[in-house]
Amino acid sequence: MKILQVTTHMNIGGIANYILNISESLREKGMEVMVASSGGNLGNELLSRKIPHRYVDIRTKFEFGPKVIGAAFRLARIVKTEKVDIIHAHTRVSQVAVFLASKLTGVPYVTTCHGYFKLRSRKLFDTWGRRVIAISDAVKDHLKNDLGVDEERIRLIYSGVDIAKFARRYSEAGKGAIKIELGLKDAPVVGTIGRLSQVKGQRYLVQAMADIVDKISEAQCLIVGDGGERLALENLTRALNIRDSVCIIPSSLDTPRIFAVMDVFVFPSVKEGLGIALLEAMAAGKACVASDIGGISDIIKDSSCGILVGVGDIKAIAEAVVKLLGDGALRQKIGENARNLVSEKFSLDVMTDSVIQLYKEVIGA
């Protein structure tokens, strides 16, 4: 089976990481996989994993603009030339381009809904494909109730992470070296990873750090990511007089090394389809504090695997972090439970097998 994965770009982020992981896993299970996008800083990563990439100029915010139409014809040529069996689209713009390419070639397509869509033109144009993958129960409900997608077309397939990638354990000396490299002190670390945007809620963590530092003076916060909120976050640390306690660094693919130095992981999103970074932190055995919202609630269902807090509840975030930093046994127990949960329910292997089954269902194999 030959599969073409299509996305708007391949810059570091949840969707691009999903495509990297699923593509490599599919290839390891005997599938032929290609990725089409407008490129990005993960291009070399595709190359290193021996995943062919085809450049398609599709980076635009306008779903029905001329760039999308041009991309559709380019995709159609790729599909015909490479004899693709099924196309898989991952973003709202790529869904439209793939919808048109499928019409031009007769090759079926599926989509993955990674988060939440505004209704917009979706009321008039159905571009969800033969089947649409919902990455969480919350996203499935959104597709049915808000976007009117027939439940028979929806398949719930949780996003998965490569458990083995996060199994490595680091010595104390190794952790110390990583802290020095990242500009951190030899002290407890509260961390988060994600795109720097208002929807990811990093500002709530920064505000909570003011209370955390008041109770545990040596505590420090590591924020990993790129995005438009960086300056606002830096200004907030200055306004709260905690600039020396907060370190903001660019996105990195080597997340296992970053998780190694975190004592507590915080995922303070305002809206979230599922949360790959949260799953990765749990796979790394980290005790996590996360917003009780959307797909996050599908992952952490009780306090044995993490602590849920209200969206934007700064006091609750601070209290949960202080509690975890002050109780090493509790941190270890929650981290172990979290790792076990991800291994059983959110592994990359389980996700890949489910996706292959869906592909076979669509093409009648």
1 residue type, one letter: M
pLDDT of residue 84: 98
Q: Which two tokens stand for residue 220?
A: 């420090």
Cβ neighbors of 19 (< 8 A, separation 6 or more) are 5, 7, 10, 35, 90
Say if strands 246-249 and 264-267 run parallel, antiparallel, or are unpaired.
unpaired
Domain 163-345: CATH architecture, name and number where available: 3-Layer(aba) Sandwich (3.40)
Residue 142 in this model has a pLDDT that exceeds 60: yes
Task: Look over the chain and give the mean of its residue pLDDT values, rounded to a whole number.
Answer: 94
Cβ neighbors of 101 (< 8 A, separation 6 or more) are 72, 73, 75, 76, 79, 87, 107, 109
Residue 34 in this model has a pLDDT that exceeds 70: yes
Least reliable range by pLDDT among 49-63, 65-79, 221-235? 49-63
Phi, psi torsion values for 103, nearest 5 degrees: -65, -35
pLDDT of residue 89: 98
Residue 307 in this model has a pLDDT that exceeds 90: yes
How much is the average pLDDT of 185-198?
96
Task: Report d(CA 302, CA 213) in Å as an integer.
Answer: 27
207 residue type, one letter: Q
pLDDT of residue 296: 93
How much is the average pLDDT of 300-318?
94
Domain limits, the chain = 2-160+347-363, 163-345
Residue 253 in this model has a pLDDT that exceeds 90: no
Least reliable range by pLDDT among 73-82, 119-128, 325-334, 349-358? 119-128
How much is the average pLDDT of 260-277?
94
2-160+347-363 is classed CATH 2.30.30.30: no
The answer to whether residues 35 and 46 touch, using CB atoms and an 8 Å cutoff, is: yes
Residue 170 in this model has a pLDDT that exceeds 70: yes
DSSP 8-state secondary structure symbol assigned to residue 271? S
Residue 121 in this model has a pLDDT that exceeds 60: no
C-beta atoms surrounding 311 within 10 Å: 17
Residue 308 in this model has a pLDDT that exceeds 80: yes
Residue 227 in this model has a pLDDT that exceeds 70: yes
Q: Give me the helices (H) in the chain, please.
A: 14-28, 43-48, 66-82, 92-105, 137-141, 172-182, 202-215, 230-239, 255-260, 276-283, 296-299, 314-325, 328-345, 348-363
pLDDT of residue 88: 98
Task: Report d(CA 231, CA 245) in Å as an integer.
Answer: 16
Residue 315 in this model has a pLDDT that exceeds 80: yes
pLDDT of residue 120: 64
Equal CATH topology for 2-160+347-363 and 163-345:
yes
Residue 222 in this model has a pLDDT that exceeds 80: yes
Long-range contacts of 51-55 (CB under 8 A, 24+ apart): 51/20, 51/23, 51/24, 51/27, 53/10, 54/78
Task: Report d(CA 333, CA 336) in Å as an integer.
Answer: 5
pLDDT of residue 123: 59
pLDDT of residue 64: 78
66-113 pLDDT per residue, tens: 899 999 999 999 999 999 999 999 999 999 999 999 999 999 999 999
pLDDT of residue 124: 62
**What distance lies between CA 132 and its chain's CA centroid?**
18
pLDDT of residue 122: 58
Residue 365 in this model has a pLDDT that exceeds 60: no
Residue 343 in this model has a pLDDT that exceeds 90: yes
